[in-house]
Structure 1
Amino acid sequence: MATTTASVLIPVPPERVWQLIGGFDTLPDWLPYIPKSELGEGGRIRSLTNEEGGLIVERLEAFDDKARTYSYSILQAPFPVTGYLSTITVHQEPDAGSSRVEWSGTFTPDGIRDDEAVALFHGIYTDGLAALRQTLAA
């Protein structure tokens, strides 16, 4: 099993960050490479379309509005991994007007080396968090 974590400091209160990213269907609002998201099964499944038209289907595994965190698994995706579980959390920094957003994942590489899978998802998380920071700065 492999794991990776990325985080970003954002000069925005955590409540505002969570308002943007806390919905399981909000990726298109802040993640440029996911232009489309559709919910199913009462909001527990999201079907995402990436920029190339590829389909990614994810299941909401845990959600805690008060702690500003949720976890999800991948049911279907073009990624070379199995057993994928990811968590996004918005933390309040000591300065109440700032937040730290953490995106982490665990997965088992399938047909590639651990370091290749880690690099793939670390890149996705890092780029995604940079896009989040940019969206909130606008």
Structure 2
Amino acid sequence: MASTAATIDLPVAPERVWQLIGGFDSLPDWLPYISASVAAGGGRVRRLENEDGGVIVERLVAFDDAARSYSYAILEAPFPVTDYLSTLSVHEVPDQPDASRVVWSGTFTPAGVGEAEAAALFHGIYADGLAALRDTLAS
């Protein structure tokens, strides 16, 4: 099993960041390469469409509003992995009450590619996503 994570510190209070990203169906609000998200399964499944028309279906596995964290599994996607589980979380930065640390992490089993290649793929997705979050919050 492989894993990767990306982290970003933002000059924005954790509550404000969580308000933007904490909804499981909110990716199009801050992630420009996700053009649509359609909720299903009582809000526990999301069908995402990317800018190229690709489809990704994910299921919410855990949600903790107080801890500002949720985890999800991929049910359907064009990625070369299985057993994918990812967590998106927002934390306070010690001694900086108006700053947030956002962590996007995942574990997965590569399928047809090496661990390094699969980890690099998701690290790029997470890092690009967190940069987009920074840009959205700055606008």
- TM-score normalized with structure 2 length: 0.99
Identical residues among aligned pairs (%): 69
Query: In structure 1, what is the equivalent of residue 27 of structure 2?
Result: 27
Aligned-partner residue type, residue 103 of structure 2 = E
Q: CA RMSD in A?
A: 0.4
Q: Which has the higher strand share?
A: 2
Q: Secondary structure at the residue paired with 1:18?
A: helix
Q: Shift of the alpha carbon at 1:6?
A: 0.3
1:38 paired with 2:38, answer: yes
- 2:113 counterpart residue number: 112
Displacement of 1:72? 0.1
Moved over 2 A (4+): none
Deviation at 1:89, TM superposition (A): 0.5
Q: What 5-or-longer segments of structure 2 have no aligned partner?
A: none
Where does residue 18 of structure 1 map in the other structure?
Answer: 18
Cα deviation per residue 1:60-100 (whole Å; 9 max; x = unaligned)?
Answer: 00000000000000000000000000000000112000000
Counterpart in 2 of 1:57?
A: 57
Please name the residue that 2:93 is paired with.
93
Answering whether residue 33 of structure 2 is matched by residue 5 of structure 1, we say no
TM-score by length of 1: 0.99
Structure 1 unaligned segments of length 5 or more: list them.
none
